[in-house]
Amino acid sequence: MEPPAGRAKPSATLVGLLQSWLGSCAWRAGAGGESGLGSCPPERPLSMPRFPGKMRLETLAWVVVALGVLASASPTPQLGASIFADLSPAELRAVQSFLLSRPELGLVAGRADSLASNSLFLVELQVPRKSQALQFLDGGSPRPPRLARAIIFFGEQAQPNVTEFVVGPLPRPSYCRPVSYKGGRPVPFAARPVGLLEYQLMHRRLLQLLEPLDRLLRDTAGFWYHNCSQRCLTFSDVAPRGLGPGERRSWLILQRAVEGHFLHPVGLELLLDHGSRDPGRWALQQLWYNGQYFASAQELAGRYERGELALAPPPAPELLFSTYQPRGRFSTGTPTDVHGAKVCEPQGKRYRVQGNLVEYGGWRLALRLRSSSGLQLFDLRFNGQRLAHELSVQEAVAFYGGHTPAGMQTKFIDSSWGMGTLAHELAPGIDCPEVATYLDVHHLYDAPGPVRYPRALCLFELPTGVPLRRHFDSNAQGGYRFYGGLEGRALVLRTTATVYNYDYIWDVLLYPNGVLEAKVHATGYLHATFYTPPGLHYGTRLHHDLLGNLHTHLVHYKVDLDVAGTRNSFETVDVRFENISNPWQAGERVVQPRLHRRPCRSERQAAFPFGTALPRYLLISSPTQRNRWGHPRSYRIQYSSQADRVLPRGWKEEQGVAWGRYHLAVTRHHEKEATSSSLYAQHDPWQPALDFESFLRNDENIENQDLVAWVTVGFLHIPHAEDVPNTATPGNAVGFFLRPFNFFDEDPSVASRSPVIVRPRDPAAARVEIQRWTPASPGPCVSAEPFHYNGTYWQE
């Protein structure tokens, strides 16, 4: 843009000052110091800079022009990432204060002490609409307003409910507007997640309800619930909480309160009705003890007093078989009481973290930890080209089978337990290497204010232990022509979620060849029930009175790929055998594989139910952009999974996890289809607030459209003795890869300066030429000896 004749252009100094001003605290993520991933506190006001020297009014007028130029340019990477940053503590408090100030909401301040009150349950970032975000990130549009999502439990009303609000703009909110899920159905009060207050009230009520069973529990389990000080019982509750909409009845498993209590059931399970807002009306509806059902605690106690009860076996003498305390010896005697191999960074970190912006090699992305579902990545780019707008965890489920009522009722839908808030502190040297970068996060979830979660995420560069690529070029005469290799490295983004007994380890790995891997490891304690002989149809006996119940894990991801632009198409590629005449030998036939491509033109064609074979190549491509060799620029989704359905299609609770019907479903992008699950799916799966099947019902065209891939991975877990004390990570990881498929002209890792090339120069004297672009020795943490290589082979 040129100024009118006679007007001066804004000076470079002026533009620089404006850039500095616009890049100040109010625009930068993470500068507030309170949060590793948050944005700046709003208390610091914006102020215009002082301009040096005398400045003519004409030049001042061109401030507006300079601002316009800056607004039309693409934002800095850090500024771009900041629109996806989690809310800072100051922003969380601002939303909380604003909502408390609204008299029509009638919110209680602090932590509520009654279920019959209006309470603020959750505040988190409301992610900008994709269209707004891309217009800002790609230049030409203003920064999207910073908004919050808030969930309020309206328990004080005659017809209680759960309502979600969008609150904004931050840092000084001035409005809140209610929002609904697709279809507009209100969220029933019974569908709300169970909060800390409700658990406290359950505990207090059980102290009263279990008093008649005090003697039975003391005599048979050696632990008790009523008036307990040392040998106490605790409980694990299972869900869904009932058999249909509107119910809030939970089966509870009583367990000894010892280290690893999940593996210490005492043989008593309780069905507690806690649907009323008045805990005094909560009641036990049924009890199960050692294979028998009872209508009340009094009935069970009376049977025991009269000697008519088949008693559970006494507690095992090895009470703490569930502990991490070492026991036994390895047969070889090799040392385990010294430190093993460690990850080190001999020349420092090769990645960069600024606020919520991560850069590594060709990779750049923004990250956040959503309170409900966990890890979300945005604006994923390689060498400056956007590959995906979003990659995020949507849901994790574990559906069980069992002989006890709690075992057969357990169908965990984990985002309803606040999966993102269950990312507790990572242990250096165990959960992540000591040299990792650790990030704190803040949540306002079922709490009177923002809560800091230290070291909730970590990032580190990992030696994969296998070359990214290598070749030994033999001369077939005892020598070689050359050796070339590139060390295998990846940047790991990691967080965890301990959902009751299970620990999920969530990883995203970024490789230097443009490959991304998303995977989850399952570890932690088994969800186990009391052993009875019929239970062997549903699991494995793991100890004297312990049954490990079979279950299926499914994990759902949203992958909003933008391959060479937002206009993409989807096709599958596999092979079929052809039988043709041999062109070079008359009368002979050749059978060989031939590529079979299947473009998917509608959403139903791009939905692959469990029970059907999944094509081996799943490609999202640009219909208009081609690489140097004429191929559509594409990315491939490649599975590492043994997933299958958890229930027959349409059966009661299965409706709440409709996404779990499909290996993969590809749909058109819609803002109303931003997530595949909700906080309410666990407690009302029968009439879910969000129905994933509706994403596919209209069977929209997906050719040359903005597409989203919904990826399901998982595995069947039949527990075995080696799951005690914990399920181990080897063999219990599933996920998928995003791999470039003709997206580039060659492997982009050729830009790495880490390869080594060895060429023989005088084989007789074992002289070689070593070509490398990094220091000869990694440093003392690995070996002080420089790299060397011989490469010859011969018979002695």
Q: How many helices (H) and strands (E) does the chain have?
A: 11, 37
502 is catalytic: yes
Q: Distance (Å, rounded) from C-alpha 118 to C-alpha 189?
A: 11
414 is catalytic: yes
Among residues 502, 511, 538, 635, which one is catalytic? 502
Q: What length is written for the chain?
A: 796
Q: Distance (Å, rounded) from C-alpha 691 to C-alpha 677?
A: 8
DSSP letter assigned to residue 601: -
Closest CA to 416 of 247, 166, 190, 191: 191
Q: Distance (Å, rounded) from C-alpha 171 to C-alpha 27?
A: 11
* H or E segment to which residue 278 belongs: none
Q: Which amino acid is at 128?
A: P
Q: Which amino acid is at 747?
A: D
Preceding peptide of 725 cis, ω within 30°: yes
Contact residues for 42 (Cβ-Cβ < 8 A; gap 6+): 26, 90, 91, 94, 170, 171, 172
Closest CA to 489 of 461, 517, 469: 461
What SS3 class is residue 693? coil
Could you tell me if 268 and 245 are in contact, meaning their C-beta atoms sit under 8 angstroms apart?
A: no
Q: Distance (Å, rounded) from C-alpha 185 to C-alpha 164?
A: 12
Q: Distance (Å, rounded) from C-alpha 192 to C-alpha 715?
A: 28
446, exposed or middle or buried, with CB in 10 Å at 0-12, 13-18, 19+? buried
CA-derived radius of gyration, the chain? 30
Among residues 86, 237, 379, 414, which one is catalytic? 414
Phi–psi pair at 671, nearest 5 degrees: -65, -30
Residue with tokens 């279920």: 115
Closest CA to 39 of 148, 142, 189: 148
Could you tell me if 241 and 79 are in contact, meaning their C-beta atoms sit under 8 angstroms apart?
A: no
Q: Looking at the annotation, which residues are catalytic?
A: 414, 502
